[in-house]
Structure 1
Amino acid sequence: MTLRLVVLGSAAGGGFPQWNCRCPVCALAWDGDTRVKPRTQSSIAVETGKGRWTLFNASPDLRSQILANRQIQPTGLRETPIGAVVLTNGDVDHVDGLITLRERSPLTVYATSQISAVLDANPIFGVLAKDVVAREVVELEKPFEIDDTRIEFFGVPGKVPLYLETENLKIGDTSGDTIGVTMEKDGARLVYIPGCAVVNDDVRARVEGADILLFDGTVFHDDEMEKAGVGQKTGRRMGHVPISGDGGSLDAFKGVKIGRKIYIHINNTNRILIDGSRERATVEAAGWEVSEDGLEVAADLAHTSRGSTAA
């Protein structure tokens, strides 16, 4: 069976266009410019077993993502192909969608102890009935299986969620607040890293030889939010390495052997969202793709389509 995935949401928190924003890029979307496409908040679904799909992060837009993608729609009376959810951090845009999955369908949530503790600390997640929704706490670098797929968590430089930040905030911690995920099936390997503060030697080693890499594309320029007039934080301060510049992901992955490189978790200020922009041309010239909602990818690269398709 081919390892395949569908991008449910390709935008960062707030989606694109963001509901309260007319930054230069969002303004194009609100004004109907055909060079940009609306995007929901980031998540992917991977077919981990025949007809069984695992969500990697559960965004606030999960219900609309299910409506848009037949692969994860109900297959019978209270039957769903969604069997599991994997969480890569505790950010609102990655855990809020769990509440959508509260109607007593059996599934398992996989997370590190730090991310699992975030759910435990908020009583609203108690709507996920414990007798049908299992919780598996997974250690870093301890492989496990979901259906027919081998999964491994690894720490990447990151930080705690925004709502847990304190004056002692540490950016770049790799203990488990932010993780990357490796998936392997039938000899194919997919690496998913939607959040990463620094591309260090360990991150490069983790993605070396991957058939598919989906990587943090939040901002193109580290200071683009400030220049757009919508915030004062840099990308790195938010825990996201920029695409361009010294230490940016474009330079950091040069020379690393990767089959297919795709940016995901793209902020509304990022001009790679604009078809034909200089920034889009820059990443494409370097061999990167810009994900969009509904993008389906197979590890053998023989089956790739844009837009939702039937399972």
Structure 2
Amino acid sequence: MKIRVLGSGAGGGFPQWNCNCDNCRRLRHQQMNGKARTQSSIAVSTDNKNWLLFNTSPDIRAQLEAFPAIQPKEGIRDTGIKAVLLIDSQIDHTTGMLMLREGKEPLNVYCSEMVKQDLTTGFPVFKMLEHYCTVKHHPVPLDGSSFTVEAIDDIRLYTHSLKSKAPPYSPHRHDPHEGDNIGVIIEQISTGKRVYYAPGLGEIEPHVLSAMQNVDCLLVDGTFWTEDEMIACGASSKKAQEMGHLAQSGPGGMIEVLNAIPDTRKILIHINNTNPILDEDSDAFKILNQNGIEVSYDGLEIEL
């Protein structure tokens, strides 16, 4: 199984277009040892030909152009993208579907009923695409049970609900529902190899910890280093958990959680532009290295 990190950044990417935080300013002026990042998305395949996308960021065109394996191979119109699985209905995970509108076949989209509701009401991407390629929706289970995806051979998926808030434009923004955000185990049937993908984790619930303990690779929330990161740099008045993310440092943080899971490759994804781990010379980046935790980057390929 091959996993390609198309985008490793949080919403806005890195550097964010209107941000003058220490990280963004220094990267623009080539004053830090770091990499630019587009917004979070991955692609998975077992044959290097047919691909399942997880999320479709606003940066998807550039991401696909940087990835030859998924580009057209046959005929005047072609793609290696066979389906899309949406983790949530956030703008930075769904807007890219509009860039896929030229497809000659309906876009197969796997997502929860709550995400479907958001994408037909508050942010009506599904309705917009009715005028182009159209969307064929496939519901996903929220109890950890398994399913397969048409045209993606040798892959089985297990999805479960995560505690989260729906986006600001959701009709139930202040009334959380199961399925607003999901985590997924991706399993290659023939080998039994598994990866757990959850770019947004605000709490390590028992079923989440169980999933994390039973995979070969973790690709999980790396948004913030500290709980008050956005407040400290003056970018927001909200703490990490208020935004649905578990900070890496501190008691009960992601580092502590990951350190309790042995014999598993551990990779952070969905990294906010304010996070000091983006600077590969920073103490924060060195602490992750010392704890055997990797920081994903655009173009990273994982083979299991």
Same fold (TM over 0.5): yes
| CA deviation profile, 1:172-196 (whole Å, cap 9, x unmatched) | x6x1111001111121101100001
Shift of 1:256: 1.6
Report the counterpart of residue 128 of structure 1 in structure 2.
Answer: 129
**Aligned positions of 1:168-183 closer than 5 A:** 168=174, 175-183=178-186
Within 5 A, what are the aligned runs for 1:178-193? 178-185=181-188, 186-193=191-198
Q: Is the 8 A contact 1:54 1:84 kept in 2?
A: yes
Match of 1:227 in 2: 232
Q: Residue in 1 aligned with 2:38?
A: 40
**Residue in 2 that maps onto 1:209:** 214
Unmatched 5+ residue regions in structure 1? 300-311
Aligned partners of 2:223 and 2:270 also within 8 Å: yes
1:138–1:166 CA distance, 2 compared to 1 (3 A): closer
% same residue: 40
Contact 2:6–2:63 at 8 Å: present in 1 too?
yes
* 1:25–1:75 Cα change, 3 Å: same
Report 1:16-55 matches (<5 A).
Answer: 16-49=14-47, 51-55=49-53
Q: Distance in 1 between matches of 2:145 and 2:280?
A: 40
The answer to whether the 8 A contact 1:113-1:139 is kept is no
In the other structure, the counterpart of 1:144 is 147
Task: State the AA in 2 paired with 1:84.
Answer: A
CA distance in 2, matches of 1:85, 1:192: 14
- The 5 Å alignment of 1:26-105 reads 26-49=24-47, 51-76=49-74, 77-105=76-104
Structure 1: how far apart are the matches of 2:262 and 2:136? Answer: 37
Change in 2 beyond 3 A, CA 1:49/1:155: farther
Distance, in Å, in 2 between the alignment partners of 1:23 and 1:165 is: 33
Partner in structure 1 of residue 280 of structure 2? 275
**Deviation (angstroms), 1:51:** 1.1
Amino acid in the other structure paired with 1:137: P
2:168 paired residue among 159, 162, 167? 162
TM-score, normalising length from structure 1?
A: 0.89
- 45-54 or 214-223: bigger deviation: 45-54
Contact kept? 1:48, 1:54, Cα under 8 Å = no
Verify: 1:240 aligned to 2:241, yes or no. no
Q: 2:301 aligns with which of 274, 296, 300?
A: 296
TM-score (norm 2): 0.91
Amino acid at match of 2:179: G
What is the letter of the counterpart of residue 114 of structure 2?
A: Q
Question: Residue 105 of structure 1 contacts residue 132 of structure 1 at CA under 8 Å; is this kept in 2?
Answer: no
1:138 is aligned with what amino acid? Answer: V
Structure 2 residue matching 1:143: 3-state secondary structure? strand
| d(CA) in 2 for partners of 1:167, 1:98 | 22
Which runs of 4 or more aligned residues in structure 1 lie more than 6 Å from their structure 2 counterparts after TM superposition?
Answer: none
**Structure 1 residues 50 and 167, CA, compared in 2 at 3 Å: closer, same or farther?**
closer
When the two chains are superposed, the root-mean-square deviation of aligned CA atoms in Å is 1.8
- Counterpart-to-counterpart distance in 1, 2:35 and 2:48: 31
Q: Name the stretch that deviates more: 60-69 or 251-260.
A: 251-260
Query: In 2, are the aligned partners of 1:207 and 1:258 still within 8 Å (CA)?
Result: no
CA contact (8 A) 2:118 2:171 kept: no
- Take 1:105 and 1:157, find their aligned partners in 2: how far apart are those partners? 36
Deviations 1:201-247 (A, max 9, x none): 32111111311110000000010111111111111000011011122
| Corresponding pairs, count | 294
Q: Unpaired segments of 5 or more residues in structure 2?
A: none
Report the alpha carbon displacement of residue 156 of structure 1 after superposing the two structures with TM. Answer: 1.8
